[in-house]
Amino acid sequence: MAAEDKPTLGVGMIGYSFMGRAHSQGWRGAHSFFDPPALPRLVAIGGRDAAAAQETADRFGWESVETDWRELIARPDVDIVDICTPGDTHAEIAVAALAAGKHVLCEKPLANTVEEAATMAAAAADAARDRGVRSMVGFTYRRVPAIAYARKLVQDGRIGEVRHVRAQYLQDWLVDPEAPLTWRLQKERAGSGALGDIGAHIIDLTQFVTGESVAGVSALTETFVKERPLPGDTARGLSADVSEGRGQVTVDDAAIFVGRLAGGALATFEATRFATGRKNAIRLEVNGSRGSLAFDFENMNVLWLHDAAVPAVDGGFTRVLVTEPEHPYVAPWWPQGHLLGYEHGFTHQAADFLTAVAEGADPTPSFADGLQVQTVLAAVERSAASGAAWTPIAPPS
Amino acid sequence: MAAEDKPTLGVGMIGYSFMGRAHSQGWRGAHSFFDPPALPRLVAIGGRDAAAAQETADRFGWESVETDWRELIARPDVDIVDICTPGDTHAEIAVAALAAGKHVLCEKPLANTVEEAATMAAAAADAARDRGVRSMVGFTYRRVPAIAYARKLVQDGRIGEVRHVRAQYLQDWLVDPEAPLTWRLQKERAGSGALGDIGAHIIDLTQFVTGESVAGVSALTETFVKERPLPGDTARGLSADVSEGRGQVTVDDAAIFVGRLAGGALATFEATRFATGRKNAIRLEVNGSRGSLAFDFENMNVLWLHDAAVPAVDGGFTRVLVTEPEHPYVAPWWPQGHLLGYEHGFTHQAADFLTAVAEGADPTPSFADGLQVQTVLAAVERSAASGAAWTPIAPPS
Amino acid sequence: MAAEDKPTLGVGMIGYSFMGRAHSQGWRGAHSFFDPPALPRLVAIGGRDAAAAQETADRFGWESVETDWRELIARPDVDIVDICTPGDTHAEIAVAALAAGKHVLCEKPLANTVEEAATMAAAAADAARDRGVRSMVGFTYRRVPAIAYARKLVQDGRIGEVRHVRAQYLQDWLVDPEAPLTWRLQKERAGSGALGDIGAHIIDLTQFVTGESVAGVSALTETFVKERPLPGDTARGLSADVSEGRGQVTVDDAAIFVGRLAGGALATFEATRFATGRKNAIRLEVNGSRGSLAFDFENMNVLWLHDAAVPAVDGGFTRVLVTEPEHPYVAPWWPQGHLLGYEHGFTHQAADFLTAVAEGADPTPSFADGLQVQTVLAAVERSAASGAAWTPIAPPS
Amino acid sequence: MAAEDKPTLGVGMIGYSFMGRAHSQGWRGAHSFFDPPALPRLVAIGGRDAAAAQETADRFGWESVETDWRELIARPDVDIVDICTPGDTHAEIAVAALAAGKHVLCEKPLANTVEEAATMAAAAADAARDRGVRSMVGFTYRRVPAIAYARKLVQDGRIGEVRHVRAQYLQDWLVDPEAPLTWRLQKERAGSGALGDIGAHIIDLTQFVTGESVAGVSALTETFVKERPLPGDTARGLSADVSEGRGQVTVDDAAIFVGRLAGGALATFEATRFATGRKNAIRLEVNGSRGSLAFDFENMNVLWLHDAAVPAVDGGFTRVLVTEPEHPYVAPWWPQGHLLGYEHGFTHQAADFLTAVAEGADPTPSFADGLQVQTVLAAVERSAASGAAWTPIAPPS
């Protein structure tokens, strides 16, 4: 189908900062490299700060700016609502958008509480059933080629029965005790700290790659620096100026937990913003009866693969450069050995969502998947609050 | 300056395949992340195959297609001509474009011969002097943040006097003797083989990072597989179908050489398409009197840095993740630890070229720089043709 | 002091297999490279299988063989008793040796139960106080230069306040379900499985490097393969033939736990014989407020060191090759860059023990340290047995 | 054959410093781990400094000291003469020892000149033919398990036809311009600098692993620091005190060269003591038509192996931990994953030489092999002296 014959889907995106820019790059480039059966039109960007939203609009080609998200949702030329705002606003916007018949892509974590997430998942299920409306939660790391390939290898039985998972998300941007108290450190805005922000990713990745859900956890959390300077006026993205006042950090700096997967595997998890020297180290190792996988996002184009069928005399972990045309998402990009980066996942996500909407299929990860991750996060919090007590988690329905 | 107040520069790009797509992505996104004082308008894409050119136009937003490059150059709305065609066509197009008063960005190698390159460099100098026209050759790897930072460290004296360079560009896409005889393996089209295609990059990177030119070489080249199947009809980019006929490979598969830099350092170079298992391994190591640097494009966001001032008891090579806002080109992108990929260099290149044109400054690498690399390539060929005889190279004028 | 003027200490070693050979190499070479104030004499090796013991004696220069350990202990020319037998025999031998006034080096784990370990520690304390008798438990990995240097860096405040520890001991020699049921898989002989055998090491290393004890744990253990073939007649070391019968595996295959250190740091632990592809991966990472450390025994001459005082633009993890003369234990060996191996730790251990005995100083790790590790192991087992319940551990007295 | 029934071979070693200690450790432990059909007896150590020689004797169990090497050679209880002295003394000692009917192990390089080496090789051939006397040159790195396994893989055709070799020996111990002018920097003692000391190793390793000789070279050498302080009185091994005088460095600091192997492969070589940050980096990469190998001595228990038969989607370089019992030399040592170190190669060398002598077989590398390396070294020097001119090398006879 030639480009001029493809239908167009109008996208309205709410948020214009870090995630807004990453999503913009995704929407803008999805059809440049992939072939979704519908083309995106960047209809409107939403943000309370009109000037800031306009700047992002100018940079990425959004046709208009809306300062009230309700107006954006109401526009007839908006088919898809893309929610890139902090977690405390997700539920209200998403439920309204679904009710308005819009397809919804919502950044992770789906919500700040299980209750909100459950409301959203129910609304999504209703909207899908009643109005053919599609929804997806933005666990973008699933669409890093090495991660997508890791899942395929597990699904194909290449590593056999899963015995161990080691999942870590290590950052260090809060090691400095004078780093400011941005919204991500406030419980009422962010829901939780490292746990919800980055722990959510490793829970999702563990379940995505292994195909098994977390069945129970024992957890510890900690806030190493309990008071921080309040941010100044120019906060944006992950950085911010500092004012003279100080405030309480009301979220965790780090969370660690052991758990069991539904199939019996043992798993260790760690999410922290205090791993000095690690910048964005999403590390995932899976050991199975037939082989193993290892991944580190700080070298995201590589998947380490061990095949136990190769005798140890010639065996070991193979450094697979995940840039071959046979690897997921890679073929439309560049020749082998030419690396992809962080934001490519957002292009993959946009292409997949456009395809699902155009084809009338339910994309993944669904809001139900997002709710399930939220359920695990809540279990971690309950366990930590009750002295690391074992906390079982009901299997996904 | 707000976006709406910026002047616009019309870009006309010739070529639509691998390099055409990479450059398109660069032109399209330069102002999304950077702040060049002029905005690009993607006016026209040129290609003899109108349908193929139209497809790239649709994907990246080129406003029109021209099947005759002379028409493209002649258009008054084209301010910048971007040449992404094989090397044998560069000189004619570039000289014509410069004569027409267009700014020119030309893919590397600048030309297939020193003579052509010299003509181009002279035309560029004339055009700059007479008409304020800017020109640049596309050694894009200079704009990988880790490489740009490596140069800065050398310039700042951080590794002291340069003693050793090890520069390798290792690929393996010709190991299969049944890989087809594409234009890159034909001397009349490509000029040379691994030497001009990838050897040019490591010569340029060595000179760029160290700030010293290559003063002489002793070289060996080899064509390991001398005959290959002719390509079929669907050749594009680096891959192609195969037909039944066979033809002679008329270029080198690999080139190795030792050389001296102008400052006395010893350098080893290797460019090959037969390094089995290496996909795009541009490896550069520099040892100086005060420290060392090491880089591998297969892990392109990392620069290994050694500081001899740190006592060995605590010293060694430090794995610097070149994703900090202080690193060259990084700030406009993502938070630390969020990696960049191959095509980001093309965005940096487009932003830099737009800035130079808008500010009336001469960008680098200039056509004279491209000529100088061509001079080194020619010396390598002469040395190899005369039994690895030492072949001095005149210093750049 | 010239060698001929040094006093001699007679060593009697019980056990001749894997550990017996490693200890033999240690005793034999300690004075070749180091300068302990007393020289070892390899007086007697003990083992029930006289021929097997004689073979080890011939290979390493033991002067005689004793088939009854009581005879060995009773010999007046034996000053030091070195216990290299399975854990269930440690207490009886050690207590008898101490009572006989012999200095005792006992392989880890100190015992199979806290009760035995407590008896041994009490006997050691009595013997030290009453008879000046020295004792040490063989946590040899403490004497890998990179580990010893890591401890020094923490002690010197180089990484600041400890926030995170990740301690893993990953092996895969039991992945094959047909691997035989050797004594290491039998609870009555080995006490526990991966937990006591290799988990003991990472508990000790964590406490040694950080200088902090484990204050509580929540743990999971698992036996993935519950039945295995019984071994044949030729079992030795870690390998064995297989007979036709099958038996129950009565120990854990893997143990994972989260814990808190006394200073508040969060720690994750994992000991497993099912990490497919990992052979002897003792991995230890410590993140502090001022820097970080990372170690992997599979590359045991390297310590990765991060110094948060270096700006991130030039910072990261530095690969320190721990082969400089300033590094612990390194100077007597080879020039920089010439690596040490596994058994060098046993040479260091022998040299340190000879020195302590000759100087009348109490060596470390003491039996009390061994008891403390046993206490942590017991807490892990209790936690695992009670559904991963949080299990506090009393601080060392 | 039980140990008591084995014949004994008396070893007389000349030299007691760095190499003397490494060889001592080798002779002392060969029969502890391996099963040579003859047992070594450490009869005598030779050195002009009797006290220093006595110290090494005491440490390693040499029975006596000889201050005149002629006396040592003449002793009837000496069957094997092991020469660990500087290169300028090798020829005289070796020829005399061979004439006396002694088996000779001689440290590398075999001699300081081709002429001396040729004399030695001829003497060795005569002695073998006439008197059944064995000789070997100490290219010990051949007996690092990963190197020995690399050779086997090439011999077995696992990487196919060899196309590329990259061989580097990188050190940095002369970067400091105030490092003293030890004998290794004096042409009359050492013959050459980095070239003969460490370049000899990578020439030998290249030829050993590929099974092909170097057929010609173009070379550059450099002395970066031309004058250094004279050493003080306490020089020993690689380190030394400094006196007030200064002297000329008369050897090369670094040598680089390109070459062709007999089978047509292209090879680059680099030997330097000025690679800041590299301590003992012997790096060898071999690319063949069916696969590749890569090795770095700074991680000497690992061999990176690429098998081109594995599709690139799952392929890449596999990190083989060369600690499996099936790997060369490994079985007698420790379980998998327990690393070997630098001096283990000397144990392997001693065991192999004892076996060859006892079995009446000619060991490798022979003096003829040592001569052939010397021939390549001389060609490198001639090429460098004549402006990097191509210098062919006659094939080994």
Which residues have C-beta within 8 Å of that of residue A65, sequence separation ≥ 6?
Answer: A44, A45, A46, A47, A50, A53, A54, A57
Judged against a pLDDT cut of 90, whether residue A235 lies above it is answered with no
Query: Are C318 and B314 within 8 A, CB to CB?
Result: yes
Looking at CA atoms only, how far is residue C397 from chain A in angstroms? 24
Sort out which chain C residues have CB atoms less than 8 A from B305's CB and list them. 314, 316
Closest Cβ–Cβ partner in B171, B299, B339 for A341: B339
- Per DSSP, the residues of B176-239 read STTS---GGG-HHHHSSSHIIIIIHHHHHHHHHHHS--EEEEEEEEE-S--EEEEE-TT-BTTB
- Cβ atoms of B290 and B309 within 8 Å: the answer is yes
A159 touches chain C (CB under 8 A): yes
Give the residue from A389, A166, A220, A267 showing the smallest Cα distance to C214. A220
Question: Taking a C-beta distance cutoff of 8 angstroms, is the pair D181, D228 a contact?
Answer: yes
More confident residue, A87 or B381: B381
How long, in residues, is chain A?
397
| Per-residue confidence (pLDDT) for residue D102, from 0 to 100 | 98
Residue B247 burial (C-beta neighbours within 10 Å; 0-12, 13-18, 19+): middle
- pLDDT confidence bin for A240, thresholds 50/70/90: low
> How far is the C-alpha of A110 from the C-alpha of A374, rounded, in Å?
7
Q: Provide DSSP, C226-271.
A: -EEEEE-TT-BTTB--EEEEEEE--S-SEEEEEEEETTS-EEEEEE
Rounded Cα gap, residues C373 and B47, in angstroms: 73
Asked if the model's pLDDT at residue B242 lies above 90, the reply is: no
Distance of CA C318 to the CA centre of its chain: 27
User: What is the C-alpha separation between D286 and D301, in angstroms, rounded?
Assistant: 17
CA nearest to A169, candidates A298, A259, A313: A298
pLDDT confidence band for B267 (50 / 70 / 90): very high
Rounded-to-integer distance, Cα C338 and Cα D22, Å: 11
pLDDT by residue for chain D (397 residues), tens digit each? Answer: 566 689 999 999 999 999 999 999 999 999 999 999 999 999 999 999 999 999 999 999 999 999 999 999 999 999 999 999 998 999 999 999 999 999 999 999 899 999 999 999 999 999 999 999 999 999 999 999 999 999 999 999 999 999 999 999 999 999 999 999 998 899 988 889 999 999 999 999 999 999 999 999 999 999 999 999 998 766 554 555 777 799 999 999 999 999 999 999 999 999 999 999 999 999 999 999 999 999 999 999 999 999 999 999 999 999 999 999 999 999 999 999 999 999 999 999 999 999 999 999 999 999 999 999 999 999 999 999 999 999 999 998 7
Q: How many angstroms separate the CA atoms of B296 and B285, rounded?
A: 9
Question: What confidence score (pLDDT) does residue C5 get?
Answer: 83
Is there a contact between A266 and C258 if contact means CB atoms under 8 Å apart?
no
Cβ distance of C342 and D343 shorter than 8 Å: no
> Nearest 5°: phi and psi at A11?
-110, 130
For residues C48 and C39, give the distance between their C-alpha atoms in angstroms, rounded to a whole number: 27
Nearest to B316 by CA among A94, D62, D298: D298
Residue D2: what pLDDT?
A: 61
CATH 3.30.360.10 range(s) for chain A read 145-336+372-391
Q: Class assignment of domain A145-336+372-391?
A: alpha beta
Cα dihedral D206, D210, D211, D215, rounded to 10, equals -60
Any CB–CB contact under 8 A between C305 and chain B? yes
User: D166 vs B292: CB contact, 8 Å cut-off?
Assistant: no
Half-sphere exposure of B63 (CA within 13 A, CB side): 12
Find, among C343, C279, C55, the residue nearest to D347 by Cα.
Answer: C343
At C242 the pLDDT is 73
Task: Assess contact for A386 and A224: CB atoms under 8 A.
Answer: no
* The three-state (H, E, C) secondary structure of B24-43, written as one string: HHHHHHHHHHCCCCCEEEEE
Q: How far apart are CA A13 and CA A23, in angstroms?
A: 8
Span A339-363, pLDDT tens digits:
999 999 999 999 999 999 999 999 9
Whole-angstrom Cα distance, residue A158 to residue A305? 10
DSSP annotation string for A13-59: EE--SHHHHHHHHHHHHHHHHS--SSEEEEEEEE-SSHHHHHHHHHH
- Contact (CB<8Å) D318/A316: yes
Mean of the pLDDT values across residues A211-218?
A: 98
One-letter identity of residue B312: A
Neighboring chain D residues of B290 at a CB cutoff of 8 Å? 276
- The secondary structure of C8-46, three-state, reads EEEEEEECCCHHHHHHHHHHHHHHHHCCCCCEEEEEEEE
Q: How do beta strands A214-222 and A391-392 pair? A: antiparallel
Neighbours of D168 (CB within 10 A): 25
CATH of D143-341+372-391, one of 3.30.365.10, 3.40.50.620, 3.30.360.10, 3.40.50.1370: 3.30.360.10
Identity at B42, one-letter amino acid code: L
- Note whether A281 contacts B337, CB cutoff 8 Å: yes
Contact in structure between A281 and A170 (CB atoms under 8 Å): yes
Classify domain A3-140 by CATH architecture.
3-Layer(aba) Sandwich (3.40)
Question: Is there a contact between B346 and B140 (Cβ–Cβ < 8 Å)?
Answer: yes
* D320: chain A residues, CB-CB within 8 Å: 313-316
CATH 3.30.360.10 holds for C142-338+372-391: yes
Residue B314: both structure tokens together: 């605590």
Burial of B262 (0-12, 13-18, 19+ CB in 10 A): middle
Question: Quick check: A337 and B279 CB within 8 A?
Answer: yes
**The pLDDT of residue C396:** 84
The alpha carbon dihedral of D196, D202, D205, D209 has a sign of negative
- In this complex, do D274 and B163 lie within 8 Å of one another by their Cβ atoms? yes
Residue found under tokens 């003992």:
D280
Residues 6+ away with beta carbon under 8 Å from A7: A37, A38, A39, A358
B211 contacts: CB under 8 Å, gap ≥ 6: B151, B154, B155
Q: Which residues of D touch B278 (CB under 8 A)?
A: 287, 292
Burial class of residue C312 (count of CB atoms within 10 Å of its CB; 0-12, 13-18, 19+): buried
CATH 3.30.360.10 intervals, chain B: 144-340+372-391
pLDDT (0 to 100) of residue A234: 60
The C-alpha atoms of residue B83 and residue B353 are separated, in whole angstroms, by 14
Edge-first strand order for the sheet with B8-14 is B64-66, B39-46, B8-14, B80-83, B103-107, B135-138
pLDDT of residue D391: 98
CB C116 within 8 A of CB C194: no
pLDDT of residue A265: 98
Distance in angstroms (rounded) separating the CA atoms of residues A27 and A351: 8
Give the DSSP H/E element, type plus range, for residue D242: strand D242-248
Chain A CB within 8 Å of residue D315 CB: yes
Q: Which residues of chain C have pLDDT under 70?
A: 1-4, 233-240
Domain with CATH 3.40.50.720 in chain C: 3-140
Q: Helix, strand or coil for residue B78?
A: coil
Taking the C-alpha atoms of residue B76 and residue B98, their distance in angstroms, rounded to an integer, is 14
Distance from CA of D323 to the nearest CA of C (A): 9
Quickly list H helices, D156-273: 187-190, 194, 200-210
Tell me: ipTM over 0.85: yes
Between CA A344 and CA C181 the distance in angstroms is 50
Beta carbons of B291 and B278 less than 8 angstroms apart: no
Round to whole Å and give the CA distance between D290 and D159: 4
pLDDT tens-digit map of A5-38: 899 999 999 999 999 999 999 999 999 999 999 9
**Rounded Cα distance, D225 and D211, in Å:** 36
Q: Whole-angstrom Cα distance, residue D90 to residue D82? A: 10
Q: What is the CA radius of gyration of chain A?
A: 21
The residue whose two tokens read 């007389």 is D12
Residue D157, both tokens? 């055709």
**Residue indicated by tokens 């069916």:** D290
Q: Are D210 and D293 in contact (CB under 8 A)?
A: no
- Shortest CA gap D204–chain A (Å): 24
Fold of B144-340+372-391: Dihydrodipicolinate Reductase; domain 2 (3.30.360)
- pLDDT for position D243: 77
Q: Give the minimum alpha-carbon distance from B336 to chain C in angstroms, rounded to a whole number.
A: 9
- Neighbouring C-beta atoms of residue B313, cutoff 10 Å: 14
B302-307 and B317-321 beta bridge pairing: antiparallel
Secondary structure of D1-16 as H, E, C letters: CCHHHCCEEEEEEECC
Name the residue among C58, C302, C342 with its Cβ closest to that of D338: C342
Residue B150: list chain C partners with CB under 8 A. none
Neighbours of C210 (CB within 10 A): 26
Residues with Cβ within 8 Å of A343's Cβ and at least 6 positions away in sequence, in order, are: A22, A25, A26, B333, B334, B338
**pLDDT beyond 80 at A262:** yes
